[in-house]
Structure 1
């Protein structure tokens, strides 16, 4: 380790150094799904939804969305209670998960009907962040995608951090991503961000997605 990362060992960091590099929080909780190798209770999802309820401004980053009917209903409930929910996902043109991209093409109308605002990010590479900025104080960061495998099958973990400074930092980090996105409103209208650059898919990729849109429909619950 010393040979590979000598800069990590060239000094001993003082308390002042750590205070400059970190943020003070008012509390941190670790949320996790059950660990048994079987279908699970959606503990992490339910806690995230509960945290969103009653807030007005929510920002979500997830690589893709593959939602169950219950997940759609939960998102709709949050929006109906007055929340503005912005979700930044990878655009199909740059997404690295073909099943996630294909399901999004099939489910786009249902996603819009929940009331969320979708930002289809099209940058130099796909983003893989899983985070929520809830209101101005709470941040939720970890491994849980907005998909059924994360919610009902995988053992995912999320840190819930009560820290306005971290919340603001996450929102600032997402701002240039939204500017490179195509914004889709709940009514289906689209608007390109100020730095959004459209990108054409090649013929082969379009053909693959067209085939997958038919093939995955009966199996989307295991994607």
Structure 2
């Protein structure tokens, strides 16, 4: 075969492969904007586009993981009548009761009352609360974080965890393989295991594994559960912000967590065990054994107590053409009547979410979007700016936070409903990562989140729209926007 014949054969092979992948894109159940972005990448960038799709084009988590999850779900269903609270609809307002019904129908998690909550937004207060509850633990400490770095003030938390394991508390730590890469390279995993802490790598990555399991699908959840009684979740990674990414030029990361005490802690424990069990066969068998013993010994469930905070767990993970938390956000925006306040570090919506925000503002609802002035991703920064003008034209109040990298993720609707958790306003959080949100239906608790967002607003400024960026920058921003559904 001549060199020209070989070249023609390679071109034909590439074209047929790209065409095959394009057909997979067209027939897959995904957002049209993402499909168009992938078609553009496949045919505009020979070889690179095909390789990119093979690596990150589909949210594959692996067949073994799927089998373990199916076994865990089967166990969960067999004991759901005793393990979960009664299936009731305690939400008062009809518009929010419908959201609660949507979450329950999709995830199985119900809204539970009688939870006592405390919002923490200072790093020292967060870490001190972690340590205090870990030291008070008698049975279990469950921890799952996207990023763990055992330096600075975080070292005291890991020391408390090792001490708890030493006195017989079952301690388990799940850390994302990619987000916590520095942690896995450090001596901390060996130290923790030596002290009796069970440590597992979430979604391990590898070059060959990438062709069968998508490597950029990450476990982005943040959880601490103590004795199935107290639970924390929010945007905070287990890092010391005074040390974390200080060379990125964005200042310290600004986060918040919700401390919850009540039935919601059991539901968050169920989320943790699901993530823990599917990582390997040993974790699955040990989890099933532990939960079976727990269910056999636990007393019968009682009706949730009155008062406290009414809240609902919203877990999300890749799969299918619908994202639960995305549907909840769009539904909440559509039923908003007076005011919407959103805080997010990364804002890269699809056209449907952008139009929903625009229409919400155009029908007279006061919409405020708070984002950090500087973020640690150049691509996200370029993509986000292209959405500013349509929002401003619709009357959205866009505010740039100047106190660091604002990492808190929250949505407040009419001071009556809130979403709080780990979800960014981008397609990666909606459709790819394992994420976690709390839907909060009690106005008094919503008011604490609203007060925190008002504090952020006091340290924010509106963008200067009179300043036009250079033409080359605008060109780059628009090019990046073409692939923003893939970011």
Q: Same fold (TM over 0.5)?
A: yes
Q: Supply the distance in 1 between the matched residues of 2:310 and 2:132 (Cα, whole angstroms).
A: 33
Deviations 1:136-186 (A, max 9, x none): 22121112211122223334332101122221111221223212211259x
2:441 counterpart (141, 157, 162): 162
Distance 1:114 1:148, change over 3 A: farther
2:358 counterpart (53, 57, 76): 76
| 3-state SS of 1:87 partner | strand
Match of 1:178 in 2: 457
Contact 1:33 1:44 in 2 (8 A): yes
Distance 1:209 1:48, change over 3 A: same
Cα shift at 1:51:
1.9
Contact 1:25 1:162 in 2 (8 A): no
Structure 1 length-normalised TM: 0.70
Deviations 1:51-108 (A, max 9, x none): 23232111111002111111111112222332111111011xx322222211122332
Contact 1:25 1:161 in 2 (8 A): no
2:313 counterpart (30, 47, 63): 30
Distance 1:45 1:113, change over 3 A: farther
Match of 2:328 in 1: 47
Contact 2:358 2:390 in 1 (8 A): no
Cα shift at 1:114:
4.1
Structure 2 length-normalised TM: 0.35
Match of 2:482 in 1: 218
Contact 1:95 1:126 in 2 (8 A): yes
RMSD of aligned Cα (Å): 3.4
Q: Supply the distance in 2 between the matched residues of 1:71 and 1:134 (Cα, whole angstroms).
A: 16
Q: Supply the distance in 1 between the matched residues of 2:481 and 2:355 (Cα, whole angstroms).
A: 20
Rg: which structure is higher?
Answer: 2
Contact 2:411 2:420 in 1 (8 A): yes
2:379 counterpart (99, 107, 131): 99
Deviations 1:20-67 (A, max 9, x none): x8695452122233543xx63132122122123232111111002111
1:57-136 mapped onto 2 (5 Å cutoff): 57-91=339-373, 94-123=374-403, 125-136=404-415
Q: Supply the distance in 1 between the matched residues of 2:351 and 2:402 (Cα, whole angstroms).
A: 27
Contact 1:117 1:184 in 2 (8 A): no
Contact 2:336 2:414 in 1 (8 A): no
Contact 2:323 2:431 in 1 (8 A): yes
Match of 1:201 in 2: none
Q: Supply the distance in 2 between the matched residues of 1:22 and 1:155 (Cα, whole angstroms).
A: 21
Q: Supply the distance in 1 between the matched residues of 2:435 and 2:394 (Cα, whole angstroms).
A: 24
Q: Give the number of the structure with larger relative contact order, counting CA–CA contacts within 8 Å between residues 6 or more apart.
A: 1
Cα shift at 1:210:
6.9
* 4+ aligned runs moved over 4 Å, structure 1: 4-8, 21-24, 208-212
Distance 1:189 1:57, change over 3 A: farther
Q: Supply the distance in 1 between the matched residues of 2:436 and 2:310 (Cα, whole angstroms).
A: 17
Gaps of 5+ in 1: 13-17, 191-205
| 3-state SS of 2:405 partner | coil
- Alignment of 1:141 with 2:267, yes or no, is no
1:9-28 mapped onto 2 (5 Å cutoff): 9=135, 24-28=307-311
Contact 1:73 1:114 in 2 (8 A): no
Structure 1 or 2: larger helix share? 2
